[in-house]
């Protein structure tokens, strides 16, 4: 039972990071029906910028917490600038183009960003300096570190802030109006271009924070880290109902937990020797103490995509989906 609890804790941490990234996908989709496949790379750039800042400041001997804070506060503006530039240069000129054009552009932007990062930060796996002393606390048999607690708390705070922004401020109202109908929102005096740019910038900022979280949590970063992370977050957004902000939060957390539990239990569940009649069939391969495992925990990355397929087949609008993809 304590293992189950521990896997849930792992899943929650992972899931809240997915949720942060998924928000970037879902907000952009909600407002201009574009799947911004370059969002994963923005997360990676966030991690990389934070790495550079943290490494150089840690050498200067500043207190760890300040260093990490400064790392985040450098990564966020850089990613916001990347997000803005992406929207302004790559997507805005294509706003009235056929749906496929911006989608392909997004993939192009993703490749460009990835290779730029490779030039700046090399192809090597980068080790984040271990400046924060990791404390492990144990509750009911499940270990949780101070870094995990910080990630969870920060995610909750940021999501609450985002909900406030979207549902309680003028900008949020403008965003929701633009999402419903850009033309009419424009006629009502909403500066549509500014609202769309703001959406990209906010999404990129969330991505930057997620990037720093992933970097400090695992302790390593690489220029390719954004692609799989981005795809999984995209699955989370679809799971929650793409275009729906609470949906992205829920989808991220659910996906994280599914992944952790899946990777934790798939090996035992597909151990053919655990099933009497199969073990008899396999004979010698199942001698006492032997195992014949069909799918090991290295299939962890598959769960996100299995979930994606199941959602698309059985509930295309996602868990909290309000809008069914009307086009493309």
Partner 1 sequence: MQHPKIALTLIAAAVALIGCGEQKPAAKADTAVEVKIGHVGPITGGIAHLGKDNENGARLAVEQANEAKVKLGGKDIRFVFVAEDDQADPKVGTTVAQKLVDAKVAGVVGHLNSGTSIPASPLYSGAGIPVISGSATNPKLTEQGFKTQFRVVGRDDQQGPAIASYLASNNKPKTVAVIDDATAYGEGIANEVEKTLKAANIAVLPREKGTDKTTDWKAVLTKLKGRNPDAIFYGGMDATGGPLMKQGRELGIKAVFAFGDGACTDEMTKLAGLAAEGLLCSQAGIPVAAADKSFLDTYKKKFNVDPILYAPFTYDAANILIAAMKKADSADPAKYLPELAKIAYKGVTGEISFDAKGDRKDAEMTIFIMKSGKIVPLAVIKGGKTIPFAEFGK
Please compute, for residue 311, the number of CA atoms within 13 A of its CA located in the half-sphere on the CB side.
24
Nearest to residue 294, comparing CAs of 274, 321, 318? 274
Out of 75, 260, 286, 311, which residue is the one contacting partner 1 (CB under 8 A)? 260
Asked if 216 is part of the footprint of partner 1 (rule: CB under 8 A), the reply reads no
- Tokens linked to 211: 């990037």
Q: Is 319 exposed, middle or buried (0-12, 13-18, 19+ CB in 10 A)?
A: middle
From 33, 193, 300, 317, residue interacting with partner 1 (rule: CB under 8 A): 300
What gap in Å lies between CA 250 and CA 239, rounded to an integer? 8
Residue 58 C-beta: closest distance to partner 1, Å: 12
Binding string, 139-178, against partner 1, x = CB under 8 A? Answer: ----x-x---------------------------------
For partner 1, which residue of 3, 89, 269, 278 counts as binding (CB under 8 A)? 3
User: CB of 147: closest distance to partner 1 in angstroms?
Assistant: 8
Comparison of 125 and 160: residue with beta carbon closer to partner 1: 125
Query: Does residue 115 bind partner 1 (CB under 8 A)?
Result: no
Q: Hey, which residues between 33 and 72 contact partner 1 (CB under 8 A)? A: none
Which tokens go with 240?
């929650």
The span of 45-53, 68-76, 220-228, 242-250 binding partner 1 (CB under 8 A) equals 220-228
∠19-23-26 over CA atoms, to 5°? 125
23 vs 229 by CB, closer to partner 1:
229
Residue from the set 139, 164, 167, 218 that interacts with partner 1 by CB under 8 A: 218
Q: What sections of the chain are H helices per DSSP?
A: 2-32, 39-59, 64-85, 100-121, 146-168, 170-180, 182-187, 192-218, 225-240, 245-269, 276-282, 302-314
For the chain, what is the largest distance between any 2 Cα atoms, rounded to a whole number of angstroms? Answer: 76
Only one of the segments 2-10, 29-37, 76-84, 276-284 lies at the binding site for partner 1 (rule: CB under 8 A); that segment is 2-10
Stretch that binds partner 1, among 64-72, 75-83, 121-129, 320-328 (CB under 8 A): 121-129
Which residues have C-beta within 8 Å of that of residue 157, sequence separation ≥ 6?
Answer: none
Candidate list 104, 125, 160, 278; residue touching partner 1; CB under 8 A: 125
Transcribe 94-155 into DSSP letters.
GTTS-THHHHHHHHHHHHHHHHHHHHHH-SSPEEPP--SPP-EEEETTEEEEHHHHHHHHHH
Contact criterion met (CB below 8 Å) for 40 and 226: yes
Please, what is the minimum distance in Å from the beta carbon of residue 106 to partner 1?
24
Please give the Cα distance from 245 to 148 (Å, whole number). Answer: 23
Question: Cα–Cα distance between 174 and 164 in angstroms, integer?
Answer: 13
Q: Of the two residues 47 and 177, which places its CB atom closer to partner 1 in the complex?
A: 47
Q: Please, what is the minimum distance in Å from the beta carbon of residue 66 to partner 1?
A: 19
For residue 127, list its beta bridge partners.
Answer: 220
Cβ at position 325, least distance to partner 1 in Å: 30
Which positions touch partner 1 (CB under 8 A)?
2-3, 6-7, 10, 14, 122-125, 127, 130, 134, 136, 138, 143, 145, 218-220, 222, 225, 259-265, 267-268, 271, 289, 291, 293, 296-298, 300
């Amino acid at each position: 039972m304590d293992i189950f609890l521990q896997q849930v804790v792992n899943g929650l941490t992972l899931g809240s990071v997915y949720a942060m990234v998924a928000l970037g996908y879902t907000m952009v989709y909600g407002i201009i029906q574009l799947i911004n496949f370059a969002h994963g790379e923005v997360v990676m750039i966030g991690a990389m910028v934070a790495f550079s800042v943290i490494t150089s400041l840690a050498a200067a001997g500043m207190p760890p917490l300040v260093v990490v804070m400064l790392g985040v506060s450098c990564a966020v503006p850089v990613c916001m600038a990347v997000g803005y530039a992406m929207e302004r240069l790559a997507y805005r000129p294509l706003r009235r183009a056929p749906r496929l054009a911006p989608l392909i552009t997004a993939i192009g932007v993703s490749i460009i960003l990835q290779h730029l990062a490779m030039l700046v930060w090399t192809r090597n796996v980068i080790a984040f300096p271990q400046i924060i002393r990791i404390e492990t606390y144990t509750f009911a048999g499940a270990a949780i570190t101070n870094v995990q607690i910080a990630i969870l708390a920060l995610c909750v705070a940021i999501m609450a802030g985002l909900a406030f922004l979207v549902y309680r401020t003028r900008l949020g109202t403008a965003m929701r109006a633009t999402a419903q109908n850009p033309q009419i929102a424009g006629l009502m005096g909403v500066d549509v271009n500014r609202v769309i740019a703001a959406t990209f910038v906010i999404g990129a900022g969330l991505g930057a924070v997620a990037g720093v979280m992933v970097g400090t949590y695992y302790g390593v970063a690489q220029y390719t880290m954004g692609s799989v992370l981005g795809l999984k977050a995209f699955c989370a957004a679809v799971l929650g109902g793409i275009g729906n902000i609470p949906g992205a939060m829920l989808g991220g957390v659910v996906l994280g937990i599914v992944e952790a539990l899946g990777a934790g239990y798939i090996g035992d569940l597909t151990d053919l020797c655990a099933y009497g009649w199969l073990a008899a069939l396999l004979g010698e391969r199942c001698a006492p103490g032997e195992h014949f495992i069909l799918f090991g925990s290295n299939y962890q990355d598959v769960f996100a995509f299995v979930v994606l397929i199941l959602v698309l087949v059985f509930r295309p609008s996602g868990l909290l989906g309000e809008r069914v993809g009307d086009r493309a």
